[in-house]
Amino acid sequence: MSDEEAKTLQGIITIAQTLLLKERETAPITPALIAEKVEVASSLVAPGGGVDTAAAVRELIRRFSHWIGQDSTLVDDEGHVPWLVAARKRDWRYWQRYQGWLERKLSAAAVEGLDKSTDKILGLLEDPTREGSWDRRGLVVGHVQSGKTGNYSGLVCKAADAGYKIVIVLAGLHNNLRSQTQIRLEEGFLGYETSAAGDAVKLIGVGELDSDAEIRPNCATNRSNNGDFNTKVAQHYAISPEQRPWLFVVKKNKTVLERLLKWIRNHVADAVDATTGRRFVSNLPLLLIDDEADHASVDTGEQLFNPDGTPDDEHEPKAINSRIRKILHAFAKSAYVGYTATPFANIFIHRRNATSEEGPDLFPQSFIINLAAPSNYVGPARVFGLRTPDGRSGGLPLTRDVSDHVDGTGTAGWMPPKHNKEHVPLHAGLDQMPPSLREAVGAFVLACTARELRGQGDQHSSMLVHVTRFNLVQREVHRQVDAIVTRMRQKISRRVDHEAVVAELEALWRNDFEPTSAEIAESVPEPEGPPPMPSWEEILAALPEILSDIDVKMINGTAKDALDYAEERPKGLKVIAIGGDKLARGLTLEGLCVSYFVRTSKMYDTLMQMGRWFGYRPGYIDLCRLYTTADLTEWFGHIADASEELREEFDAMAASGAAPKDYGLKVQSHPVLMVTSPLKMRSAQPLFLSYSGSLVQTVAMHKDAARLRSNLAATDRLLSSMGPPTTKGPVRERDETPDEWRRSFLWEHVGSEAVLDFLAGYSTPAKAFRANSAVISDFVKKMNQVGELTSWTVVLLAEGQGRKPYKFPCGLELETLPSRGDRGVEGTYSIGVLTDPADEAIDMGRTEWARALEMTLAEWKPDPARNRVTPPKRPGGLKIRDVRGLGCPGIAPAPERGVLLLYPLAPEGAGADVLEYWKDPIIAFAISFPSSVTGVKVEYRVDHLLWETEYGQAD
């Protein structure tokens, strides 16, 4: 499709969408109505015909099928004066043109959702015309690659309309990310391209809709790679309250921020603090937006390092945190809004940290907003699914296992987990990449070709290769990848010695792409129907042209290559991007189709940020691939679950009217967050954790016979001490069909001494960061001191499929053993999930269970990014624990009631190697802790050396 044809098609879509929006109030939007309006629009834009109106119809069906869940908000209104009403928005022009520009590209639902969301955020800031001094601090939590930049671009437009005069956007640590953010804000807010000369080069984005010079914002930075804030240029700027708003897009860099701070104090400040002599700005309201707010802005004491291993003083968090705070403190009227997908470092900021020079720390004391994602967002829960006792379910078949990047020992080879900057990537002793990377490059070539044949050739396509943080090693990888692409291009274009390459690609197409696309079309049906699947013959014919368009680029601190997606060209960019930390955070890879990812970090926030493959993939999700290790797939699945758990906690607190400080206190003691950098958790001090209101389960067990034997013995002692079970085969009445555990045994009113003896005798692996028997035991003892967790329900769950009996030494006989398959994580017997959803409520009668379900439904709201589409039919675990520990109308609280669930797992699940020496059950356990208001916590000390060995360095 030519550039002119693409513009014509876009014009048809825009007009047809406008016509459909007018009719939406009176008639349902059907495919037939969409086709009718497309014909009307086509007759206006292209009366001569010759336009693929079917593509316009498909795009509009997709847009009008989107929906967005509701945002959740924690607010502290202390000192805040509500101000944003409809009358204030009547003459807003920055927002109006941004809205019009968005409607060209996005669904009406997405634009409406962004309008509501940015109204909410702006309304929680202060009225910029309000007299006196004020300071608002907030945090917006989105999903990775879900459109946070679009959200804060809308907020900038509305803030400028409302009267904020200075807008500073902190855009990552690197020049190319700052430049990319500058370009996005030029399109969405400024309306013109910026240049190093400081003049408006040409109108772009919103400027094409409204180019009135009267509202043209000023900008102190430009889009060039070194277009950051510069004092020499800034000397000529004069800012006064009457002028149009000023935009600054700057890096989180000590020198740049110091430069900006000095300029504000010397050229903008108009008042002096009588007590301290500090110069400040009294008359200009400031909005400071902190993109990737958990990275470098937080004073963690954590030192970042250059790729060559030397300390990077420019990116030292203490210095950056200090200067951000000083800039905010230099304004009498200031608003700070952080944006991130991984807010945990921000939650650990001390709320009372304040100095006379810097003001308060960056804790989001005023509000935290959890953004819901649109229904077409593809996030961790959709890629990896959610855990069930039978493994993960609901995920997409896009992951491909990588194991050939290391040799048989796992410590050497092409790209071993531990390597230095001098590492030479060799596979099988030769200067070549492993077969898995060769296949991934082939998959990218095929994805680009299929997108071209689907009419998406004018859109960008990218591949990510993220295997090392060292620039020198990246250079070697770049050379190898470039060589393979060049050879593929030469052989196929010239049709010389090309048979083997063509056969390789055909096998990949027929054995992988065709069946995967068919599976996704069935499991994730597109509202406009499945995208057309080209034949192999069509792919083969288009390959030479596609290969000639593919560039291989290295993206890091020293590379000259840059990803300029904004540059005009008739075709979309097709690029294989090889890099490290620059590709790990913030930098958007447009049209990301294939990722090859073997970095070793297992920290929650680092991994989430590295997952650049999450986002929007309209019309080509079936062509996307993620090549990674089984270990990392396991961890991504784990963090998808952890993220869901934390968002549920957030939703519950939002529904109860809690403030950000309440969530901060809750999250700081939450054991799931031990998968974030201990430095970001300020763990130079011990961590203090609470298990109240949480479910803990052993998903990793020892494999060695000695520990398996001692764990079985601890279980036998517990069974013996409790005497005969209260119930065999418990049955619980539910709303529809009862829950039954016909082969299981239940004991009631078991004293905590017996449970503590079991925990003392049970050994959990050192890497089981959450289900740590020693820490759990300490917690139970502390709760006993305040009269809680004193009376336990203990259940031995034996609901297996097979009929393998087992008799404990104490005499208790089981008809069968439950089974859980090993996930293949080295060193332990690791499973996906232990508990069945029904198990946690085994101690609850129908009334308690129904009340927990009622409370779950009251707080439930759809969120496609979290696989939440249909309302649940069972109560959520959090509400089960709330009803048990806190009670509810008609049900008294019982915080003394702990629930210990014992699972004697069939040893076959651990694998053939374990069966050679172990034939008895492998004991796993889960504990459902009732919610509590006591605030009891237990100390947990982090061994930093062990932590780094297991989870990798913080990025």
Q: How confident is the model over 659-697, as pLDDT tens digits?
A: 887 765 555 444 444 444 444 444 344 566 788 888 888
CB 795 within 8 A of CB 745: yes
- Looking only at Cα atoms, what is the longest distance across the chain? 88
Share of the chain above pLDDT 70, in %: 82
- pLDDT band at residue 955 using 50, 70 and 90 as cut-offs: very low
In this structure, of 36-45, 762-771, 787-796, the range with the lowest mean pLDDT score is 762-771
Only one residue has tokens 């004697």, namely 904
pLDDT in tens, 595-619: 898 876 555 555 655 555 677 777 8
451/461 Cα distance (integer angstroms): 9
Q: Using a CB cutoff of 8 Å and minimum separation of 24, what contacts does 666-673 make?
A: 667/344, 667/347, 668/347, 668/348, 669/937, 670/646, 670/694, 671/696, 671/769, 671/770, 672/642, 672/645, 672/646, 672/770, 673/344, 673/604, 673/646
Please report the pLDDT score of residue 256 as a whole number.
93
Please report the pLDDT score of residue 241 as a whole number.
64
Please report the pLDDT score of residue 769 as a whole number.
59
828/831 Cα distance (integer angstroms): 9
Please report the pLDDT score of residue 276 as a whole number.
84
Q: 774: how many CB neighbours lie within 10 A of its CB?
A: 14
More confident residue, 6 or 433: 433
Amino acid at 633: T
- pLDDT band at residue 752 using 50, 70 and 90 as cut-offs: very high
Q: At 361, phi and psi to the nearest 5? A: -75, 180
Q: What are 311's strand-pairing partners? A: 305
Task: Please provide the average confidence, as pLDDT, over all residues in the chain.
Answer: 84
Distances (CA, A) of 299 to 295, 347, 353, 667, 680: 10, 12, 10, 18, 8
Q: Quick one: tokens of 633? A: 């797939």
Q: 878: how many CB neighbours lie within 10 A of its CB?
A: 21
Strand pairing category for 938-940 and 687-689: antiparallel
- pLDDT band at residue 311 using 50, 70 and 90 as cut-offs: low
Amino acid at 696: V
* DSSP classification of residue 216: P
Q: What are 287's strand-pairing partners? A: 167, 335
- pLDDT band at residue 946 using 50, 70 and 90 as cut-offs: very low
pLDDT in tens, 190-231: 999 988 766 656 899 999 999 898 899 999 999 888 888 987
303/953 Cα distance (integer angstroms): 11
274/244 Cα distance (integer angstroms): 30
919/807 Cα distance (integer angstroms): 12
CB 487 within 8 A of CB 442: no
Q: Show Cβ contacts of residue 746 under 8 Å, excluding neighbours closer than 6 positions.
A: 725, 726, 727, 728, 730, 793, 794, 795, 796, 842, 843
In this structure, of 269-283, 370-384, 509-523, 635-649, the range with the lowest mean pLDDT score is 635-649
Q: Quick one: tokens of 452? A: 């071209």
Chain centre distance of CA 212: 39
Only one residue has tokens 């470098």, namely 296
**Nearest C-alpha neighbor of 259 from the set 284, 234, 241, 277:** 234
pLDDT in tens, 425-441: 999 899 999 999 999 99
384 has a pLDDT exceeding 60: yes
582 has a pLDDT exceeding 80: no
The 3-state DSSP class for residue 903 equals strand
616/453 Cα distance (integer angstroms): 20
**Nearest C-alpha neighbor of 307 from the set 583, 661, 518:** 583
Q: Show Cβ contacts of residue 799 under 8 Å, excluding neighbours closer than 6 positions.
A: 741, 742, 743, 744, 816, 818, 836
563/573 Cα distance (integer angstroms): 9
The 3-state DSSP class for residue 173 equals coil
Please report the pLDDT score of residue 297 as a whole number.
67
Q: Show Cβ contacts of residue 626 under 8 Å, excluding neighbours closer than 6 positions.
A: 383, 398, 399, 400, 594, 595, 597, 613
Instruction: For residue 712, give the H/E element and its range.
Output: helix 705-722
- pLDDT band at residue 389 using 50, 70 and 90 as cut-offs: low
Q: How many residues does the chain have?
A: 955
Only one residue has tokens 């020079």, namely 357
What's this model's pTM, rounded to 2 decimal places?
0.73
Buried b vs exposed e over 743-753: b needs ≥16 C-beta within 10 Å?
A: bbbbbeebebe
More confident residue, 356 or 442: 442
Q: 560: how many CB neighbours lie within 10 A of its CB?
A: 7
Only one residue has tokens 């200090």, namely 322
Q: 260: how many CB neighbours lie within 10 A of its CB?
A: 23
954 has a pLDDT exceeding 70: no
As a 3-state breakdown, the chain gives helix, strand, coil percent values, each rounded to 5, of 40, 15, 45
Please report the pLDDT score of residue 706 as a whole number.
95
* DSSP classification of residue 207: G
CB 445 within 8 A of CB 488: yes
CB 382 within 8 A of CB 396: yes
Residue 645's Cβ-count burial label (10 Å; 0-12, 13-18, 19+) is middle
362/367 Cα distance (integer angstroms): 12
- pLDDT band at residue 529 using 50, 70 and 90 as cut-offs: low
- pLDDT band at residue 950 using 50, 70 and 90 as cut-offs: very low
pLDDT in tens, 852-897: 999 999 888 777 666 677 888 899 898 999 999 999 988 999 999 9
Q: 278: how many CB neighbours lie within 10 A of its CB?
A: 17
Q: Quick one: tokens of 64? A: 């009008």
Average pLDDT over residues 100-127: 90
Q: Show Cβ contacts of residue 892 under 8 Å, excluding neighbours closer than 6 positions.
A: none
Average pLDDT over residues 84-95: 94
454/528 Cα distance (integer angstroms): 14
Strand arrangement of the beta sheet that strand 166-171 belongs to: 72-75, 367-370, 134-141, 333-340, 286-291, 166-171, 246-250, 218-219
